[in-house]
Amino acid sequence: MADDTDFEFEGEPIELVVDDTNAGGRLDAVLAKEHDVLSRSRIKDLILNGAVTIDGKPVSEPKYRLKAGETIVLLAPPPEDPEPQGEDIPLDILYEDDELIVINKPVGMVVHPAPGSPNGTLVNALIFHCGESLKGIGGVKRPGIVHRLDRDTSGVMVAAKTEKAHKHLSEQFADHGRTGPLHRAYIAYAWGSTQSAMGSVDAPLGRDPGNRLKQAVRKDGREAITHYAVQARYGDEKWDITRIQCQLETGRTHQIRVHLAHIGHPLVADQIYASGYATKVNRLPEELAGAIRSLGRQALHAAELGFEHPVTGEEMMFEADLPGDMRVLQDALEPYDKAFAR
């Protein structure tokens, strides 16, 4: 059976007269059998969305039992382009040459198209911006994503514009800076006051068996190591918040968020891993509480990214200032600085 994106009907109606063989069969099953370029699940979706009529009347029940002599008409929409398209989305470009582009990703931008986020992504923006300067990454003209940031994590990212750059950068990220110059540093604001000023969290990560949207520390997970250093401590007798710089030795999904939660210091305003800390906001001074409520996302920012240029071999370092919402948080915390001796 062909992939759903490969069918050739281009919006033309598909007509089928029910014969004795198909009489009594389910509408979705018969259509899938007779027109096998569409999967049964795809046909079911089309039926539910009003794309099917029987004897001229709309039928939106996939389980409808057919009768001999009925005429089914399915209007299949044209296929969606399987490759992402360019979109005119502004980019905060920190550096660009013929091989790569470095950007400061804003909060709320998804890195690449996915179910639920088919457009408006960084990939769509890069395709539009780079245009003909993009070479064939993997045989297709598209930017080479070599690492990712969560939708609601801001900061520095690099993308490749050529096959050579993609290969070289991918190798650096796979090495995680253990033998090369790759450097990734994040600024995080976490609940509580860490016992030590510096430390590492070495805890394997995998999908949370109770929630597919979350990651969790698991014995059978993939190796994950985060190094951290306290930059400042804030608070009074009722509350504590710590500003931490985190450096990644591995790059797992939600790694910093899960690791800091694992040691008892989840990120401020993290709606997934710090949900149990939501009531703590009510104990904070009004201005600070307002800053956290308006943040609406984990207080995490990719502040620094360093790597070796894939062609020149130059070691390059890029920094991105805190975005506006985290700057507001930082300003609200300043009056409560405990002048931590680093």
Query: Which candidate, 246, 251, 263, 245, places its Cα nearest to that of 224?
Result: 251
Q: How far apart are CA 280 and CA 290, in angstroms?
A: 12
Kindly write down the DSSP assignment for every residue of 140-167, as one continuous string.
EES-EE-----TT-EEEEEEESSHHHHH
Residue 278 · residue 295 · CB < 8 Å: no
Residue 168: alpha-carbon gap to chain centroid: 23
Query: Which candidate, 336, 338, 231, places its Cα nearest to that of 287?
Result: 336
Query: Which candidate, 248, 235, 251, 240, places its Cα nearest to that of 304?
Result: 248
Note if 150 is an active site residue. Answer: yes
At 225 the three-state DSSP class reads strand
Q: How far apart are CA 279 and CA 6, in angstroms?
A: 51
Q: How far apart are CA 247 and CA 257, in angstroms?
A: 12
Structure tokens that stand for 255 in this block: 């790694």
* 148 Cβ neighbours under 8 A, 6+ residues apart: 111, 112, 157
Residue 319 · residue 303 · CB < 8 Å: yes
Pair type for strands 154-160 and 300-308: parallel
Task: Find residue 247's DSSP bridge partners.
Answer: 185, 227
What are the C-alpha distances in Å from 163 to residues 86, 177, 311? 19, 21, 12
The single residue of 92, 97, 150, 220 carrying the catalytic annotation is: 150
What are the C-alpha distances in Å from 120 to residues 17, 36, 166, 320? 42, 33, 22, 22
Which residues does the annotation mark as catalytic?
150
